[in-house]
């Protein structure tokens, strides 16, 4: 009975909060009444409560995910410190000097493979040579004396091991610095780097087992941390390169912006999903970023159209073309001519309709085309490093 009374009391209070309300407005001597029913007020309050609930759930999930990632990183750091300690190194050397030598050789191969894949030899040499030794790195070198005292003849192997670990740590810091630069640049485009690179695809992995070490042992924690840092760096830098930031034509005359406008044919209000650039007939139209042509042909309303998919849900559309220079499935680099300006489709005159879409939703292209010079410099550096790495790999394959 007490519970029912409490429930009835709460319902009565709720009904009292949401009662029919009337408001009047006086304008030019006329009085108008606006009525907000209790039912409508409850629906609005319920909608707000649902939105707040969803927001709280998403925030909680993100917090839990960050805490999980942080705990995993702390566990890896603790494991790394334990494995790299002088005591553990002495123990391994005592068990088998030959075994340590074999491990160091395999670790060197792993380091070279990881480095060539993500940074290139020139980038690795630069990253490893610019820093002074940290206290932790100096301690690793000093520990070689303890190993030499405990195991005669092991000094050279101990120094090699220490320098391998130091090299991996320096590359890790260099990768983390480049990652931060890429993250910052992506945010200045108005995009969230975590959402842009996240999703189920980020965790989709597979393939036959081909371990770095012949016996299938676990990857050394220092190399594991390096591998994680380089993969994150590589993902973000590839994402940055895929963001369309180059002008699609060598003209700056925008005849219609993104957003709601008066339709040029009907005169009614309509959503304009891109930016229109006015220019001369036949003006070259250029790819705004590296990508793959996923459509090249006529499209209703757009006329002759080219669509380029850039990855991570980003797509650009080039419409009303007079000529198409690419084919579906073709890979294109930033600045490649994909067509020529025209007035095909639903068009009132010669111009380019340029769109940027993220996961199928049209977004304003202007922030991408008006990015500051610092961001473009980071992007240019990433592109230069990517080209250098490709040339090194091509040279190695030819050799």
Please state, in angstroms and rounded to a whole number, the distance separating the CA atoms of residues 283 and 249. 7
Structure confidence at residue 149 (pLDDT): 72
CA 288, 292, 294, 297 torsion-angle sign: positive
Please state, in angstroms and rounded to a whole number, the distance separating the CA atoms of residues 134 and 122. 23
Structure confidence at residue 357 (pLDDT): 94
Q: List Cα–Cα distances, 197 to 118, 193, 373, in angstroms.
A: 17, 6, 24
Please state, in angstroms and rounded to a whole number, the distance separating the CA atoms of residues 217 and 194. 32
Q: List Cα–Cα distances, 308 to 316, 346, 349, in angstroms.
A: 5, 21, 24
Structure confidence at residue 374 (pLDDT): 75
pLDDT digits (tens, 9 = 90+) for 227-278: 888 888 888 988 888 888 888 988 777 888 888 888 777 778 888 889 999 9
pTM metric for this prediction: 0.65
Structure confidence at residue 213 (pLDDT): 44
Give strand pairing partners of 298.
Answer: 304
Phi, psi of 139 (to 5 degrees): -65, -40
Q: List Cα–Cα distances, 203 to 197, 198, 199, 324, in angstroms.
A: 10, 8, 8, 37
Q: How many residues does the chain have?
A: 399
Please state, in angstroms and rounded to a whole number, the distance separating the CA atoms of residues 312 and 358. 8
Which residues of the chain carry a pLDDT beneath 50?
1, 199-203, 206-209, 212-216, 397-399
Torsion angle (degrees, nearest 10) of CA 58, 228, 216, 97? -140
Under a CB-based contact definition with an 8 Å cutoff, are residues 338 and 285 in contact?
A: yes
Structure confidence at residue 325 (pLDDT): 97
Beta strands at 269-272 and 275-278: parallel, antiparallel or unpaired: unpaired
Q: Where are the alpha helices (DSSP H) in the chain?
A: 2-17, 38-83, 86-95, 97-118, 121-129, 135-150, 155-188, 193-197, 221-242, 366-369, 373-398
State how far Cα 138 lies from the chain centre: 35
Question: Could you tell me which of 260, 303, 259, 255 has the C-alpha nearest to residue 276?
Answer: 255
Phi, psi of 189 (to 5 degrees): -85, -5
Structure confidence at residue 323 (pLDDT): 96
Collect all residues with Cβ–Cβ distance below 8 Å to 232 and sequence separation of at least 6: 175, 179
Collect all residues with Cβ–Cβ distance below 8 Å to 387 and sequence separation of at least 6: none
Collect all residues with Cβ–Cβ distance below 8 Å to 174 and sequence separation of at least 6: 119, 127, 128
b/e string for 246-263 if b means 16 or more Cβ within 10 A?
bebbeeeeeebebeeeee
Under a CB-based contact definition with an 8 Å cutoff, are residues 210 and 160 in contact?
A: no
Structure confidence at residue 309 (pLDDT): 96
């Amino acid at each position: 009975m007490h519970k029912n009374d409490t429930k009835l009391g709460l319902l009565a209070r709720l009904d009292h909060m949401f009662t029919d309300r009337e408001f009047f407005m006086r304008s030019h001597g006329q009085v108008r009444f606006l009525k907000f029913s209790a039912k409508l007020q409850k629906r609005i309050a319920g909608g707000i409560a649902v939105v707040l609930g969803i927001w709280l759930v998403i925030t909680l999930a993100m917090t839990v995910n960050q805490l999980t990632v942080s705990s995993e990183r702390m566990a890896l750091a603790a494991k790394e410190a334990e494995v790299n300690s002088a005591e553990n190194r002495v123990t391994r050397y005592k068990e088998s000097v030959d075994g340590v030598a074999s491990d160091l050789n395999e670790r060197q191969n792993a380091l070279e493979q990881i480095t060539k894949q993500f940074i290139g030899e020139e980038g690795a040499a630069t990253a490893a040579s610019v820093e002074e030794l940290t206290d932790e790195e100096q301690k690793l070198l000093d520990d070689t004396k303890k190993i030499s005292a405990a195991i005669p003849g092991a000094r050279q192997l101990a120094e090699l091991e220490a320098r391998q670990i130091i090299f991996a740590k320096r590359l890790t810091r260099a990768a983390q610095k480049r990652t931060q630069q890429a993250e910052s640049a992506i945010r200045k485009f108005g995009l969230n780097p975590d959402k842009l690179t996240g999703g189920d695809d980020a965790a989709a992995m597979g393939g036959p087992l081909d371990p770095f070490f012949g016996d299938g042992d676990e990857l050394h924690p220092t190399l594991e941390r390096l591998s994680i840092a380089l993969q994150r760096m590589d993902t973000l830098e590839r994402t940055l390169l895929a963001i369309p930031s180059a002008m699609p034509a060598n003209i700056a005359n925008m005849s219609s912006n993104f957003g709601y406008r008066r339709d040029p044919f009907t005169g009614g209000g309509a959503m304009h999903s891109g930016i229109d650039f006015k220019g001369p007939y036949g003006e070259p139209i250029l790819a705004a970023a590296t990508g793959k042509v996923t459509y090249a042909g006529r499209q209703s309303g757009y006329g002759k159209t080219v669509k380029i998919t850039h990855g991570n849900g980003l797509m650009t559309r080039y419409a009303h073309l007079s000529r198409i220079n690419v084919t579906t499935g073709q890979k294109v680099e930033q600045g490649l001519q994909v067509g020529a300006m025209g007035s095909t489709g639903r068009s009132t005159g010669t111009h380019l309709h340029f769109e940027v879409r993220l996961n199928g939703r049209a977004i304003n292209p202007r922030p991408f085309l008006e990015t500051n010079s610092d961001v473009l410099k980071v992007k240019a550096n990433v592109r230069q490093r990517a080209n250098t790495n490709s040339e090194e790999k091509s040279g190695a394959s030819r050799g």
